Each structure stands twice: as structure tokens, then as C-alpha cells.
Structure 1
């Protein structure tokens, strides 16, 4: 089972109930439940934390993101279950339920588990994932370079400069890609930098200017260069 979230969500938690093991039949169990939980944030894999609630640890074991039945669980109304938590942002969660065939009879019959108590905090994803922002002197000018991992509803970038790291002014805009799922590089040349230390930051604005984000601030020193 795969559940997708658009936009992504934060703080997702839910419970998995009735992950257990059936009675022994001959040399094997009638069934052994096994559940694997995985997630993604766009294309990046996200691993949850799974913990046994109450007595759930007496009839199931947890190894990473896999729960395996080890005993007979109580009815759903009395089952405290295993709690799954995604600490960061997720856009997709997959729950894979199967029978641990190596330790069960040939025909385990029809088995079920219960997924309940979904809870999360809605979040609006940033329109851009910025990988880097840097600058370097080129003669009497400064080249500003930045790279994005992906973009969503992105309108433009504005490069800003300051003499004191407090008051910033715009020195130029660069149009964004709007939508992109791959890396992309941008640049802007400051043809009139300040003498001494100049501070730069990147302002990103989405379509409709509903959301604005800023990069970290960087400092470029031009003490040994004569500026006009």
C-alpha cells in the first residue's frame, strides 16, 4: 500500500496492529506476519522510527523499518500496536505486508493487519531546494553562482548585496525554471562591487510572490583591488 501526500507533510505518525504469528502446524507456523514501512521526500528515501506500544513487544519484533510477528496478538480493540513515526517531511509512504515464507507453512491462509490513527502536521514545501550559493572575484567584478536540486512553482532569484551585512539592496534578478526535478546552475555578475568586504545573499520568490526564502549570507573581500 502506498499513500502519497501533496504537498508534503511533517510529523507523520500511525499505528500498525495485529502484526503477529500463528500457532505451530507441524514443524512450521501457520503464518508469520512481516511488515516493512518506507517513505520518500520527493525522490529521497526516508526511514521511519518504529516502536512497540505497551505489550506489542511480546508478540512482535522490530528490526530497522521491519516488524515481524513472534506471538499471538490480542484482538484489535486490545492491541496497543507498533507506532511508526516520520520525523521529517514525507511525500510518500509505502507499507508492505507479507508472510515470512521461510518460517511458515506452505499455505498461511488469509491474514490481515490494521493501520490506524494517522496523524500529521500539514506543511507547504519550499519552492526550491538550494544546494549551494557562492561568490568569487573575477578582476574588479564578483561572480555569484548557485545551484538548485529541484524547483516547484519558482518564479525568480534576486541577488542582494550589503556593505554592513544589515541593509541589502538588489543588484539583479535571474528567472527561475518554474518546475524542475533535476539539478540546475545559475549565475549573476556583479559589475560594481563594493571595495573591501561585500556581503551577498540570494532571495528566491515563487509564482504569485506568495512565498519568499533567503539563502545564507556570504562575504567577498576585494581589499587588494582598485574599484572605479
Structure 2
């Protein structure tokens, strides 16, 4: 009788132990699945367009590539663009005759500065389909285009974003330098932080690779248009 009671007590104890182990395992699994980690990654990419910068500059202005730069390559969709002077562009190929006249000016020291906002819908696997707002600062001179698009209003996962695009004259061709910083909140426990870092960085690198391809294609598609001439 005593042996039976001991056996029953032992089984009861093991039942409690197993129950506690399962509870701990469930808690650990839940923590692993829901742990959040914000990773910030920056990538750079440079390439050359085999066309004179003046031609490239005119194409970028006439096709409103300050907008296209953000959406070319398939990582986002254009929603709306608004410059500080109040003009809104939701799909036009031009940014205004006044701006065009400035860029076509014969004054060797002209400078065009644009500030505004751009709204895009993200298509990134980590961010999902979310509309975010970027603040744009663009400066165009006879020999260089500088464009900075910085996150103004993000989403639940996109916590930081800054894309810098510089196009400059180099002899008979154009050099393009791209820098992209992304700060993204992911679901990753401490032991998976390195994996999250690598995946987000690879995603940013792929985005710049696509932008290079799309930029070259944009120039190639427009390089023989009649409105490019005369060049100055």
C-alpha cells in the first residue's frame, strides 16, 4: 500500500515538473516569436552613365526624376508629390516651365533648389504596403544634381529612411553615387539580430541595384528626344 502511494506521489511530482517545463517552453517560444529588434543599415553604390552630364541633367528634370528616383526599381509606388511653392504633381512628366527655363538658362552660375514632400507606398517585404512621407531637398547646378529624401512620417516598422543621390559631371560621362540608410523594426530575438542585420542590409543593397538599372534605362529611353537640344 505504501509503495503504491509512493508511486502515485512520484507520478504527481513528475506531472508538475513536466507541466512547468512545458509552460516555460511555451513562454520562451512566445518570446522568440514576438521579440522585436530595430536594425539600422546603410549601403552605398556608385556607377557611371555613359552620357554627357548636360544631357543626363535635362532628362532628369524633364522626366521629373526627383520623383522617379524614389520609385524606379519597383521598391515603392508613387502617391503624391508637392513642392514648397504649392504646385502638386500626381503624374505629370514636367515640373513646370519656370523650373525648366532655369535649368536651360545660359547663366553659367545658375542654381535651382527644390524642397517638398513625396508620398510613396512601400513594397518592401519587411515593411509591407504602407504609405510613408519623405521630405525632399534637391539642388541642381550646371554640373551636379544633389537629392536627399528623408523620412518625415514612417510606419509601424519603418523608423528611419534617407536616400542620397548625387549625379555629377565627369569628362564625357556622368557619375552617380547612391547612399541608402534604412532603420526597420523586425521580429528577432537577441540571437537572431545578426541575421536581421544582414537581411535588411541585403534588401537595401538590392534596392540600390534596381535603382541603378532603372536610372540607366531612364536615360537610355530618353537620350534621343528632340527636347534635349540645344544642349547647354
- Output the TM-score relative to the length of structure 1: 0.25
- Output the TM-score relative to the length of structure 2: 0.24
If asked which structure has higher relative contact order (CA below 8 Å, sep 6+), I would say: 2
More helix by share: 2
